[in-house]
Amino acid sequence: MPFLSDLKFLISANEHFLKGSRMQVIKSHFAEYFCDLFASQYISKYSGEILDYIDHPNQTIFGVTHPSTDNRIKIVDLFLSQKRAPFLDFMLDSFERITGNEIKKRFFDLGDDAFCDLAPIKLTMQTIYHQFLLRRGNFGNKDQTKL
């Protein structure tokens, strides 16, 4: 379980324990995991990829205020893959009990080739423009279907 593997230092009086109280460390780690889960419900795994890019050499190192990047990525991956784990269930259940809302996937996965659909194109002739509207769907006419 990612959370507990980071907090092994709470058992012994090492430099991390001496820098902060147990409860403050736990609160800080919970807050970071919550932020990661909250963001991932909207932006998928991309916050983890940014963390990995920024902190790659120190991925397994944890501190008083932050869990290890490796474990932060693991908990998000568990959430996105809809796998169950005791700590993840605890986080999700706690959030729902406190707020009345659930953390859930709130994004649509466009796939790898969706970028081509979003890239701007230069329309040089009116007939091409009309064909483009027919193929992409005419947003002004709800009865129009995509071809």
The token duo for 51 is 């963390």
Q: Cβ(74)–Cβ(10) under 8 Å?
A: no
Provide the mean pLDDT of the chain.
76
Classify burial at 56, counting beta carbons within 10 Å of its beta carbon; exposed 0-12, middle 13-18, buried 19 or more: exposed
**Residue 17 main-chain phi, psi, to 5 deg:** -65, -40
**Contact (CB, 8 A) for 40 and 76:** yes
pLDDT at 91 > cutoff 70 = yes
Q: Is 0.75 topped by the overall pTM? A: no
- pLDDT category at 108 given cuts 50, 70, 90 is confident
Q: Residue 13: its pLDDT value, please?
A: 39
- At 117, the pLDDT band (50, 70, 90 cuts) reads low
Residue 75 has pLDDT above 80, yes or no: yes
* pLDDT of residue 105 exceeding 70: yes
